[in-house]
Amino acid sequence: MKGVDVLATAFRNAFRSRLRTSLTVLAIFIGAFTLSLTNGLGTGINQYIDDTVASVGVDDVMTVTKASEEEPTEGPAEYDPNQIATDGAPGATATALTDDDIDTIADIDGVESVEPSKSVLVDYVRHDDGTRYQLSVAELVPGMRMELVAGEQVDLDATDPELVLPESYVEPLDLGSAADAVGQTVALAVTDATGEQVTTEATVVGVAEPGVITMGGAVPNDVLAEELYDLQTTGAPEAETTRYAEASVSFDTTGGAAQTEALQDRLADAGFTGSTLEDQLGTITAVIDGIVLVLNGFAVIALVAAGIGIVNTLFMAVQERTREVGLMKAMGLSSGRVFSLFSIEAVVIGLVGSALGVLGAVGAGQLVNSVSGDLLADLPGLTLIAFDPVSIATVVLGVMAIALLAGTLPALRAARQDPISSLRYE
């Protein structure tokens, strides 16, 4: 019997007992479906995170804070004049950076430039004499880029105040369309240290789509950010105007991850903590990968059960076809060919089950994506469940490998049968 004949015979024999084989295929389907769907979930979310990092475009900037020497304690911490509020959880604080700290960071080998982060609290934004709306501003890191509906990115070197406004503010501020909003002037108000509310004006140069960056609100250029900070700190003691929660450090990335880690080590030796945007989002990725790993564990359990089903199916097939195996061996079919025949049957069962499972997962993923589109409208660009061709191929090949291993024992039993004894089998 030629190899092609063995293959064709195995395909026919795989579904001789349709009910038994179909139940085994169903078990494989469940495992492959679950494995593909959970992998798709992890791929979709991780792709969104990777795209966010890439769109921000600040892989050469890290956030630096002062390392705290205090051990975390339960309950409220005692007052420390060197602590400053952060943008984290309510009540979260960090050791404040001073101008001396900024100078120290600037002198560290590998640091190209350092800019302290100046927190600005805007009271409201207004166009002409219209309604006033609350607005927050996000700090613009050099190299950061936003997805724009209209206009252009803010110019860091511009001498006039500019800002990119979130798309959700265009209609309430009566700016017309997104394109009409570009070039118009809005007023921003802050409260200074004396309690007086003061305003300044800025030109809208762009309108941004909702996203991770613009969730923080409008994005000003350096001139506007500095002007708002100066207005806000008017009348404040000098000690209060030279305290910063964090600083942005620019560095050379040509040396890769090793160079970045070396810079972080030097910062740590100097008493500071440096983290890139990828580091910060990496925590989220690690949590997602952990959840996907747990879910994949359930899929693997289902596949193990399916493997046991394959063993049972083929053992029954070997027993039912004992005389047939003896006849084939009596006619000159080698033990190796017999082994191949039953092994290929196992692989066929695994292929059918895994293929159906993957196709079912792709269909379910598309359905989930269509339903989740409205629920996750605030995260544009997020495909909740995305399928990577390599991942899909890995699932199919992996299940086929499990099926091949599961079919080894029944195939060996068939291959070792004595033809004379097999022909006498009733």
9-24 tens-digit pLDDT: 766 776 677 777 888 8
Distance CA 5, CA 8 (A): 5
**300: exposed, middle or buried (Cβ count in 10 Å: 0-12, 13-18, 19+):** middle
Q: What is the pLDDT of residue 88?
A: 47
Q: What is the pLDDT of residue 355?
A: 92
Average pLDDT of span 108-126: 88
1 confidence band (pLDDT: 50, 70, 90): low
What percent of the chain is modeled with pLDDT above 90? 19
Phi and psi for 184 in degrees, rounded to 5? Answer: -85, 160
Q: What is the pLDDT of residue 89?
A: 45
Average pLDDT of span 208-236: 80
Query: What pLDDT digit, counting tens, does each position of 152-172 carry?
Result: 988 878 899 999 998 889 999
Statement: residue 184 has pLDDT above 60: yes
Q: What is the pLDDT of residue 407?
A: 82
Domain ranges of the chain: 3-54+283-423, 66-275
Distance CA 420, CA 426 (A): 12
Residue-averaged pLDDT of the chain: 80
Helix (H, G, I), strand (E, B), or coil: what is residue 193? coil
Q: How many Cα atoms are found within 13 Å in the side-chain-facing hemisphere of 261?
A: 3
Statement: residue 92 has pLDDT above 60: no
Average pLDDT of span 84-111: 73
